[in-house]
A and B are shown apart, each in its own frame.
Chain A
Amino acid sequence: MSKGRASKTAYIGARLLDPATGLDETGDILTEDERIIGIGPNLFGGSPPSDAIVIDSNGLCASPGLIDMRVQIREPGEEHKESLRSAAEAAVAGGVTSMVCLPNTEPVLDDEATLEFVARRARLQALTKVYAYGAATKGLAGKELAEYGLLADAGAVGFTDGTVAISNSQVMRRVLSYAATFDLLVIQHPEDPALAGTGVMNSGETATRLGLSGIPLEAEIIMLERDIRLVEMTGGRYHAAHISTAESVKIIASAKSRGLRVTCDTAPFYSALNELSVGDYRTFAKLSPPLRSEEDRQAIVEGLKTGVIDVIASDHSPQDQDSKRLPFAQAAFGGSGLETLLAVSLDLVHNEQLTLLEVLSKLTCVPADLLGLDAGRLREGAPADLLFFDPDIGWKVIGDKFRSKSKNTPFDGRPVQGKVMRTVIDGRTVFKASPHANSA
């Protein structure tokens, strides 16, 4: 994009969807450089400004670009699984314009220098906006507090030990308390590690039949219950990542009704799949937390519907072939999620469980507000991070065609409906679907 001269783009004839305001009508968007400068029905009265590039949206849905608040990027340290560049390519193909990465890289994101390395590499390499969480404890070891004040000043948008729970109650108390000093968000992977033990899938009939050791629901339930008591005690801000059980929804609902500053997300894995996906030892369905029972899945959908679950995040966990082509118990946890985030979330709309605006709010303005990002809204002055999609086009998930370096999707082979057609970041088109392809 040329510097110094204003570059305008007019997107005409789109179905404008702004979940923050409830806007849902046909209209136009005008962007100049990196910002939206005009939006609304019949914005141009039939003739867009002559100095603007005009893109006819042909009735596609136009929403704020998606914000994915839980992504593992393996750079630095394990670039063979995913790099900032490959994650960004997967993200824009999935309509994600901002992603927040976990600190479980190598080295861990627990000092300003590493955090700034990621920010700098992201600027140079990535198409998307990349934010990062700082480590809640030094080295993710669950013992000593990391430097939240300094890390927040360096750009950390929240604090978490990533895929490891902070299990020592005294440490968790201090994490919440110290973070509250600066009014920072603490994100927990709610799973009691002792109770999860050596488990590899949900405890239950399937695990028993397969002869696999189980992770009980209680590992999540107990950790959530404990954390919420500690939130009550410390006045901290707490976010439970990827909740997966029916009881978890109840616990979060009750914490919210008591006025605690508690929020949560789930991943499409948990609203769309259950433990039967493990089938015949399919390691792509080995996730953390594990896929639960059908009753739990339904309760997660219900939690999304009632608003108890605030956010949908991809929980993108790239793993290479070598980590997954192993006996089930030895395979790594995690699923690739960026490229299926929108389509699988749209199941909730097609099944008439949530409205389109409800689903989009959990993918845009709600996570933006939670993390304090200037993103997630279609309005004048907002960054021109836009997603154009067709909610109805059907396609089939094929992991091998992913842009992500890792192909480990539990949705492999699944027919889905809803396709990203164009992704715009800071006024620049960074992804455009080829018109005839009908699979990812």
Chain B
Amino acid sequence: MLDPVFPHCHLLGIEGLSPLEINHLLDLADPYVEINRNRENASESLKGRTIVNLFFENSTRTRTSFELAALRLGANVINMQIGSSSVAKGETLIDTAVTLNAMHPDVLVVRHPQSGAVKLLSEKVNCAVINGGDGSHEHPTQALLDALTIRRRRSKIEGLKVAICGDVAHSRVARSNFYLLLTLGAEVRVIAPRTLIPSHVEKLGVQTFNDMRKGLKDCDIVMMLRVQNERMTGSLIPSVREYFRFFGLDREKLSLAKPDALIMHPGPMNRGVEIDSDVADDFERSVIREQVELGVAVRMAVLELLAKNLAATRTNVSAAS
């Protein structure tokens, strides 16, 4: 039967999920953290299932994380890295979806450079789809692993002040985190130069700051975003040195946040651009490696849950016929 709390076929985004649903996903992921640490065999719950990592954009960590999660649950994994050259062969996204669907995979993990592409693809297949990041839209498993990291360190998310700093305009991580953190009752602040803040972002419920010193004041969590090098050529930011001076996280700026504030980063980091190594490598404060670790647990929980829901719908279909 379908999961009673999370009866969905896909995980396309955080937007629209209820606090109950989000907490349910986090509750399911939590036990896998210890299981992974102890190198126990998690389960064989996905034995015989096929997971396809369909990546239209380069990725190492997210793809590896999904692959490990699937393998630890006994699934078969196929990685399809579709470079831009293959797209140039002319097959449309929908044709790719239909072709893959004909081979009967169970779960598709999809990353695509265009916002909305994963949803479009999900409408053309009858397997489960997980959004592994679509354009500047959403990256739901990243937000879930961030939330799990925070929850395990601070026991709850409600009432925390979270600063999200950097290239919010182009960040799917930022958007998924807005929805998740706001849904669970955190206060979310965006800190960036105005050229990196998308218009009307306040309407999503976040506060914006242009002065990092003001924005970081009394924050419990400081989440840094990667600033891509191609943004540094002068069109949005004049230079790396100016960015680091005003928006890079260093010891001095961090001192304005709460003394025990956690430092997070979705990776990969640009040391000396958005974050100083001094704080990135601070064992007491930085939970950046823990985020990566918990990512596998979160993805195991999501894969397992969606596979279960998929089995339930297929049973229903065959029962009906």
Interface residues in B, total, Cβ within 8 A: 16
The answer to whether A147 and B195 touch (CB under 8 A), given A181-B210, A182-B210, is: no
Q: With A and B bound together, what is the CA distance between A137 and B238 in angstroms?
A: 9
Bound-state CA distance A406–B241 (Å) is: 40
Contact residues, B185-206 vs A (CB, 8 A): 193-195, 199
Q: How far is the CB of A115 from chain B (nearest CB, A)?
A: 14
Q: Pick from A147, A171, A182: contact of B239, CB below 8 A.
A: A147
Instruction: Give which listed residue, A138, A150, A177, A234, contacts B234 with CB less than 8 A.
Output: A138
Is the beta-carbon distance between A178 and B194 smaller than 8 angstroms?
A: yes
| Complex Cα spacing A148 to B245, Å | 12
Q: How far does the Cβ of A172 sit from chain B's closest Cβ, in whole Å? A: 12
A145-B195 Cα distance, complex, nearest whole Å: 11
B235 near A149 with CB under 8 A, answer no
- The verdict on B44 contacting chain A, using a C-beta distance below 8 Å, is no
**Least distance between B63 CB and chain A CB atoms (Å):** 34
A305 at the interface (CB under 8 A from B): no
B43 at the interface (CB under 8 A from A): no
Asked if B210 and A149 make an inter-chain contact with CB atoms under 8 angstroms apart, the answer reads: no
Closest residue on chain A to residue B210 by CB atoms:
A181
Contact indicator B195/A177 (Cβ below 8 Å): yes
The answer to whether B245 touches A144, judged by C-beta atoms less than 8 angstroms apart, is no
The chain A residue with its CB closest to the CB of B199 is A233
| Residue pair A144, B194 in contact (C-beta under 8 Å) | no
Contact with A along B118-130 (1 / 0, CB 8 A): 0000000000000
A212–B307 alpha-carbon span in the complex (Å): 78
> Which residues of chain B are near A180, meaning CB under 8 Å?
194, 210
Nearest residue, chain A, Cβ from B234? A144
Residues of A within 8 A of B193 (CB): 178, 181
- Residue of A148, A150, A182 touching B241 (CB-CB under 8 A): A150
Contact partner of B238 (CB less than 8 A), chosen from A146, A171, A234, A235, is A146
Residue of B nearest to A150 (CB): B242
Residue of A nearest to B246 (CB): A149
How distant is the Cα of A347 from the Cα of B161 in the complex, in angstroms?
A: 60
**A138 contacts which of B210, B238, B246 (Cβ < 8 Å)?**
B238
Report which of A137, A144, A233, A235 forms a contact with B233, defined as CB distance below 8 A: A144
B234 touches A149 (CB 8 A): no
- B17 in contact (CB, < 8 A): no
CB A100 to nearest CB in B, in angstroms, measures: 21
Whether A379 sits at the interface, judged by CB under 8 Å, is: no
* Contact assessment for B195 and A174 in the assembled complex, using a CB-CB cutoff below 8 Å: yes
In Å, the complex CA distance between A22 and B210 comes to 37
Is residue A143 within 8 Å, beta carbon to beta carbon, of the partner chain?
Answer: yes
CB distance from B309 to the nearest CB of A (A): 44
Residues from chain A with a CB closer than 8 A to the CB of B22 are none
What is the CB-to-nearest-CB distance from A161 to chain B, in angstroms, rounded to a whole number?
14
Determine if B245 and A145 form an interchain contact, defined as CB atoms under 8 angstroms apart: no
Say yes or no for B87: interface residue by CB 8 A criterion: no
Q: Is B237 an interface residue (CB 8 A)?
A: yes
In the assembled complex, the Cα of A177 lies from the Cα of B239 at a distance in Å of 16
Q: Which residues in B have their C-beta under 8 angstroms from that of A144? A: 233-235, 238
Of the candidates B236, B238, B242, the one having the most CB atoms from chain A within 10 angstroms of its own CB is B238
For residue A171, which residues in chain B have a CB less than 8 angstroms away from its CB?
Answer: 235
Contact A147 B242 (CB under 8 A): yes
The answer to whether A145 touches B236 (Cβ under 8 A) is yes
Please tell me if the beta carbons of B239 and A234 are within 8 angstroms of each other in the complex: no
Residues of A within 8 A of B (CB): 137-138, 143-150, 171, 174, 177-178, 180-182, 233-235
Q: Knowing that A182-B246, A233-B199 are A-B contacts, what are 19 other residue pairs whose CB atoms are under 8 Å apart, sorted by A's residue number?
A: A137-B234, A138-B234, A138-B238, A145-B195, A145-B235, A145-B238, A148-B242, A149-B246, A150-B241, A171-B235, A177-B194, A178-B195, A178-B236, A180-B194, A180-B210, A181-B193, A181-B194, A181-B195, A234-B194
Among all A-B residue pairs, the 5 with the closest Cβ atoms: A144-B234, A181-B193, A147-B242, A145-B238, A177-B194
Name 14 interchain pairs, CB-CB below 8 A, sorted by A.
A143-B235, A144-B238, A145-B195, A145-B234, A146-B238, A147-B238, A147-B239, A147-B242, A148-B242, A149-B242, A177-B194, A180-B210, A181-B210, A234-B194
Show the binding face of B for A, using Cβ within 8 Å. Answer: 193-195, 199, 210, 233-239, 241-242, 245-246
